Amino acid sequence: MKTLTLPSVSEMNLTAVCAALGDPIRMKIVQCLARSGEKNCSGFEVEHISKSTLSHHIKILRESGLIQPRFQGKEHFYSLRKEELDRRFPGLTEMLLNEPASAE
Amino acid sequence: MKTLTLPSVSEMNLTAVCAALGDPIRMKIVQCLARSGEKNCSGFEVEHISKSTLSHHIKILRESGLIQPRFQGKEHFYSLRKEELDRRFPGLTEMLLNEPASAE
DNA sequence: TTTAATGTTTGATTTTTTTCGAACTGTAGG
DNA sequence: CCTACAGTTCGAAAAAAATCAAACATTAAA
Assess whether pLDDT exceeds 90 at residue B103: no
**What is the DSSP code (8-state) at residue A66?**
S
What does pTM read for this prediction? 0.94
Assess whether pLDDT exceeds 50 at residue B94: yes
Using CA coordinates, name the residue in chain B closest to A87.
B95
Closest CA relative to residue B42, chosen from B51, B34, B30: B51
Q: What mean pLDDT comes out for the span B5-24?
A: 96
Are A40 and A78 within 8 A, CB to CB? yes
Chunk chain A into consecutive blocks of 10 residues (it has 104) and report each block's average pLDDT, rounded to whole numbers: 79 98 98 95 92 98 98 97 98 96 62
pLDDT band at residue B102 using 50, 70 and 90 as cut-offs: confident
- Alpha-carbon torsion (B60, A32, A78, A83), positive or negative: positive
For residue A52, the tally of other CB atoms under 10 A from its CB is 7
**How many angstroms separate the CA of A37 from the C1' of D11?**
34
Interface probe, candidates B10, B15, B27, chain A, greatest A C-beta count within 10 A: B15
Are B32 and B100 within 8 A, CB to CB? no
| Edge-first strand listing for the sheet containing A67-72 | A39-40, A75-80, A67-72
Cβ separation of B99 and A22 shorter than 8 Å? no
Assess whether pLDDT exceeds 70 at residue B104: no
Q: Is the CB of A8 under 7 A from strand D?
A: no
How far away is chain A from the Cα of B63, in angstroms, using its nearest Cα? 14
pLDDT band at residue B47 using 50, 70 and 90 as cut-offs: confident
β-bridge pairing A67-72 and B39-40:
unpaired
A49-59 pLDDT tens trace: 999 999 999 99
Q: How far apart are CA A86 and CA A6, in angstroms?
A: 16
Assess whether pLDDT exceeds 90 at residue B4: no
**How many angstroms separate the CA of A79 from the C1' of C9?**
44
Q: How far apart are CA A83 and CA A12, in angstroms?
A: 13
B31-44 pLDDT tens trace: 999 999 999 999 99
Protein residue at shortest CA distance from C1' of C19: A53
Nucleotide closest to A55 measured between CA and C1': D8
**How many angstroms separate the CA of B76 from the C1' of C10?**
21
Residues 30-89 of A with CB under 8 A from B: 89
B23 interfacial to chain A (CB closer than 8 Å): yes
Are A88 and A53 within 8 A, CB to CB? no
What's residue A5's pLDDT? 80
The size of the A-B interface in CB pairs under 8 A is: 66
What's residue A104's pLDDT? 46
Residues contacting residue B23 through CB under 8 Å, at least 6 positions apart: A15, A19, B57, B60
